[in-house]
Amino acid sequence: MVVTAVSARPGQDADGAALRGAVRVMTGNEACAEAALAAGLRFFAGYPITPSSEIAEILAHDLPRMGGSFIQMEDEIGAMGAIIGASLAGAKSMTATSGPGFSLKQENIGYACMTEIPCVVVNVQRGGPSTGLPTLPAQGDMQQARWGTHGDHQIIALCPRGVRETYDLTVRAFNLAELYRTPVILLLDEIVGHVSEKVVLPARVTVLARAKPDVPPERYLPYAETPSDVPPMATFGEGYRFHVTGLAHDETGFPTNSPAKIDRLLRRLDRKIRRHLDDIIEVDDRPVPGAQIGVFAYGSTARSALRAARMAGEAGIQVDFLAPLTVWPFPEAAVARMGERVGDIVVPEMNLGQMAHEVEWAVGRTARVHSLTRVDGEPIRPQEILAKIREIAAR
């Protein structure tokens, strides 16, 4: 794995250095596009869809100027296939979409999981099902990010709460994709994508490059078992030829019906993520001594939740706060620890309780979980969460 530190504003020379630490105003979609370029993005394929279209618009302008390629595909299925092909050819690749387009991408996301092809998929969530609420926020794709494609598989999904965090997690998404040879999903919501905030971006970012094989082409096994469970990845066009298929395959990449080889493959795909949970999972955990109530929230809703927790504290009700930046793999250990500290956990979210179920499973019988939901296109306000906290505290 090659690690480099690069300018956070790619293409800037020394005369532009002042911009790198300057205060700026930008949206989450703008931050996502700029961070992708800083992380080494060189191929973007997409199809316009609200509320993610600004990401494509920015990259259509900026990516070719940096020697990269932008292409608007005929649909979201083609866009996902294109970034898979570009990644096989050695380019860091990304696509961006929203709910209906994310649905169309699922088959090819599964293909990328099975063939271990790194890429980044951005989903700026809006209301659904179907066309739903094109311009209004929601968090209804959380379970789809985990289980949208069929079969047993692991997935990495990150969820920022604001503009600067969108920048940081976009860079991290590319690094995780390259490190573990897997698609990584970045789950914004419409509020995060479109809110304008004052940010100071880092002057430099750490960028990881995929591990390349250290053996000649005739000895290369594209799906070999390795100590890390992540095989090195050759680039098409550099003298290496190997078979890529969505079918169950052996270490050479060719299909197999051997039960033993199928079992080894699928267990390795699962294990290469599970064994690195401590490196992948990131949470913002803020325990409060003496708190009997906790709040678990993510995305833009976590901002309302943090404000509500502070308002409760001002009213004499101590509240724990936990926000997962990595939503998949689910941070079970951190949630379980919260459940051991408090008796009740409030889970506000802009869906009908998708992640509340995960919290329930993680805490078992140690704490009661209270789901607080909205699906009308309006954000959950701090006062709504505070009212639920007061109701629990009064029991």
pLDDT digits (tens, 9 = 90+) for 101-137: 999 999 999 999 999 999 999 999 999 999 999 999 9
Q: Which of 146, 181, 209 lies at the terminal end of a domain, its last residue?
A: 209
Distance between CA atoms of residues 188 and 66, nearest Å: 25
Distance between CA atoms of residues 158 and 145, nearest Å: 10
Looking at residue 296, what is its pLDDT?
98
Give the mean pLDDT of the chain: 95
Closest CA to 72 of 40, 95, 42, 38: 95
Q: Which of 150, 174, 209 lies at the terminal end of a domain, its last residue?
A: 209
Query: What mean pLDDT comes out for the span 324-335?
Result: 98
pLDDT band at 14 (very low <50, low <70, confident <90, very high): very low
Give yes or no for a cis peptide into 51 (omega within 30° of 0). Answer: yes
Q: What percent of the chain has a predicted confidence (pLDDT) above 90?
A: 94
| Domain annotation covers residue 221 | no
List all residues 6 or more positions away from 314 whose beta carbon is below 8 Å from its beta carbon. none
- Largest distance between two CA atoms of the chain: 71
Distance between CA atoms of residues 339 and 334, nearest Å: 9
- Residue position matching structure tokens 């920015």: 58
pLDDT digits (tens, 9 = 90+) for 170-199: 999 999 999 999 999 999 999 999 999 999
Number of domains in the chain: 2
Q: Which of 188, 209, 230 lies at the terminal end of a domain, its last residue?
A: 209
Query: What mean pLDDT comes out for the span 9-17?
Result: 45
SS3 83: helix
Shared-domain flag, residues 202 and 294: no
Shared-domain flag, residues 326 and 198: no
Is residue 220 a contact partner of residue 240, using CB atoms and an 8 Å limit?
yes
Is residue 167 a contact partner of residue 32, using CB atoms and an 8 Å limit?
yes
What DSSP string runs through 346-367? EEEESSSSHHHHHHHHHHTTSS
CATH of the domain at 201: 3.40.50.970
| Domain annotation covers residue 298 | yes
Does the structure show a pLDDT above 70 at 203?
yes
Distance between CA atoms of residues 63 and 42, nearest Å: 7
Shared-domain flag, residues 64 and 170: yes
Structural domain harbouring 329? 284-393
What DSSP string runs through 168-189? HHHHHHHHHHHHHTSEEEEEEE
| Domain annotation covers residue 247 | no
Shared-domain flag, residues 40 and 180: yes
Percent of the chain as helix, strand, coil, to the nearest 5: 40, 25, 35
Distance between CA atoms of residues 76 and 106, nearest Å: 10
Looking at residue 16, what is its pLDDT?
41
Looking at residue 159, what is its pLDDT?
98
Shared-domain flag, residues 189 and 40: yes
CATH of the domain at 320: 3.40.50.920
Shared-domain flag, residues 51 and 148: yes
